Structure 1
């Protein structure tokens, strides 16, 4: 057996792992690189392996950094099934169609305003490419072994990260390989806690927050504080949000604040077609989350869901106080840019960051205290207040990662640490060695690791 990390090694984006077993090639996740330009350029490079040579693909969850390269893989020759859970299929379909649309819109805007060095600018993939890739998705229930052939089978277990997210356990000729994908919190807002696994010969574990412990604070109180601060300035609060999981968590918390009569009397909008669709997926998969019927009804009466572009433009041009949740979460694209275009240079407004911001993203620039950011081919002065809720995370922190790992009955022969920026992965490697005395290594991009 041989493992090769084509992404998600030394970085938190572009997750792609290839497992070669004699005559079979299996890819686990197929994500898009985001953030730094040097990473985004990798999306345009050919893989070391021909897509047509990959037999199967197993998807841990729907997020773009794990699924967003699928349309390219299929377009370039992949013919096999893409296995995932039912909720992951629904969310991935939404995410890929939205990504294809954004790719097309960005290319069109770059050509219209001539701010790309490429003549003409082209999308990485199109909506039609995304539709074709979606046809390859095949669903598997949690905790059901599925045979890929007579010697290889796999199953999904709940990872508690987003709706439908899963750990992947592969049994290859009796050897057990576990791929964590992204691991959720010990007590997620909307989801059941991650499942514990008890055995692996080889383990691949994420390390997004491998070097820190999340703050133990009331997220609801912090959210109310920043809403109140902005309302007293008679400003508008913009919340750039990931459309899957984070948007639904925010809506839930806002609905709780409203039920307790703590919110000011201002409109609240979710202005994200993908976020609206993802919210409907959450309400569809009732068994996969903790929301009650009452919770769902309260959420629907708290936030106005916006899909149509005409309504979105009207909200952008309305200067009255309000709260707007808009994609994308790292401010790499989406409708949030139209709000920032109008609002970020006015000190009475606020931007609330509620998720991880990868290197090279506009969200990371805001947190770094930059005085201007560039989008739509222009620089925009940052005068609005920039706030952040650190405890708003869908990723396990160091203590939660250790909690999950300590439930293995014996140490794996080797643990690969991936999906983390370099200092985070190295810090977690040190912690894992000193705390559990496990044999572990930080995965390096494009390195080939041979397994006994």
Structure 2
């Protein structure tokens, strides 16, 4: 028998910061390498060194490209990692866009904090730079889905289509004949742009996301809600601001709004897409047509309908535009990006509507708005919130509890260990109980920096 030591370095007791490190007799493997987001105490962990030696990691395997699964990679490289970072081709394309964008944002935020003096750090330093992001991207190595790849004599892996975002997978890792399955983020069974996730057939050790482990997505008429909000925006001569994740959510919103216009359900209201990263992600849809449902003709017709903003100068032109309008801008949890500039100028106006779409993590401005905050802090200053706040949950890219249970139903064996990760405490514990009731399987909830040893 051989021992595998599992280090839970993120997404343990919380949603963000996915990082799992496996020490095996033949390979040391990092699965995902994400940043923490949300609560200040979580964000501060990003600056702390990992309790492992990065130079001893043989490979990093990525389930998908989101920041909370890839955003720590440049710091890992700074700490001494220098080998391959492997994912599907669209995952690496997305990760490259996200890392370059976030490196630029880190540099800009540090520069702004230093100029305006609102950081307690003197000088404020970027978390990582664009140059460090590029050094990381140089290590990317694409692999096909559905194909086993060998790491060593007794260790191999395979990526499996998982919905959620373009390129996303769950990971099967075969170590001495035992199957370690990492769910990554499980997508929806019904999605406008993506196919349903594949489901694992066997798992000896299962690492399962639990973002919505205690909830079902509501039955919402998304199209009618958007029609009503657009009509209200026109009637009140206001602005509809939609903070959006640049990957998948932005493209889904564009598709729905384009379809509503094409069906004459909304007038030709100006719609501005202000997400440089989101614009780059659109090109990934064009590059990898086999990974989504849109035809090239639909894709091009859709993109032609919107005002795509390229520069920060155009952001200000859009703010000054007196017409009623819709603005979709990053980021989805209002943690950064261009949406902050719009909110600073518009969130104090009663004619403004802010539509939050999808999950809002603890400690984010999105969660504060959702919970009725009367003011939010933007660029070091508090701004009163007089805008109407709306929320769409059913557009979430994450499976809800019933969809997660459906994803599990295909597993033929009883897993030796189930580790519930990527969830807030209440969701994790509720899902633990639900799995016990539904399957009779025991699941455990690892804590941050916990280490578990298993035999293979």
TM over 0.5: yes
Kindly indicate whether the alpha-carbon contact (under 8 Å) linking 1:252 and 1:295 is maintained by their aligned counterparts in 2. Answer: no
Q: Given the alignment of the two structures, is residue 319 of structure 1 paired with residue 322 of structure 2, yes or no? A: yes
Q: Given the alignment of the two structures, is residue 147 of structure 1 paired with residue 150 of structure 2, yes or no? A: yes
Choose from 194, 201, 204 the match for 1:201.
Answer: 204
* Correspondences of 1:45-444 after superposition (within 5 Å): 45-444=48-447
Q: Please, what is the CA RMSD of the aligned residues?
A: 0.9
Q: TM-score if structure 2 supplies the norm length?
A: 0.98
Kindly indicate whether the alpha-carbon contact (under 8 Å) linking 1:8 and 1:418 is maintained by their aligned counterparts in 2. Answer: yes
Which 10-residue stretch deviates more, 288-297 or 429-438?
Answer: 288-297
Distance 2:311 2:110 in 1: 21
Distance 2:48 2:12 in 1: 16
Which 10-residue stretch deviates more, 217-226 or 318-327?
Answer: 217-226
Distance 1:11 1:392 in 2: 21
Distance 2:66 2:137 in 1: 14
Choose from 22, 27, 35 the match for 2:25.
Answer: 22
Distance 1:359 1:319 in 2: 34
Kindly indicate whether the alpha-carbon contact (under 8 Å) linking 2:27 and 2:151 is maintained by their aligned counterparts in 1. Answer: no
Distance 1:97 1:52 in 2: 23
Kindly indicate whether the alpha-carbon contact (under 8 Å) linking 2:432 and 2:442 is maintained by their aligned counterparts in 1. Answer: no
Kindly indicate whether the alpha-carbon contact (under 8 Å) linking 1:226 and 1:387 is maintained by their aligned counterparts in 2. Answer: no
Shift of 1:88: 0.6
Which 10-residue stretch deviates more, 294-303 or 69-78?
Answer: 294-303
SS in 1 for 2:444: strand
Tell me what 1:449 maps to: 452
Shift of 1:441: 0.6
Which 10-residue stretch deviates more, 381-390 or 226-235?
Answer: 226-235
Deviation string for 1:343-380 (max 9, x for gaps)?
Answer: 10010111000121111100000001010000111000
Q: TM-score if structure 1 supplies the norm length?
A: 0.99
Distance 1:317 1:62 in 2: 34
Distance 1:447 1:338 in 2: 40
Corresponding residue pairs, total? 452
Shift of 1:23: 4.3
Shift of 1:309: 2.0
SS in 2 for 1:94: helix
Kindly indicate whether the alpha-carbon contact (under 8 Å) linking 1:258 and 1:302 is maintained by their aligned counterparts in 2. Answer: no
Shift of 1:99: 0.4
Shift of 1:218: 2.2
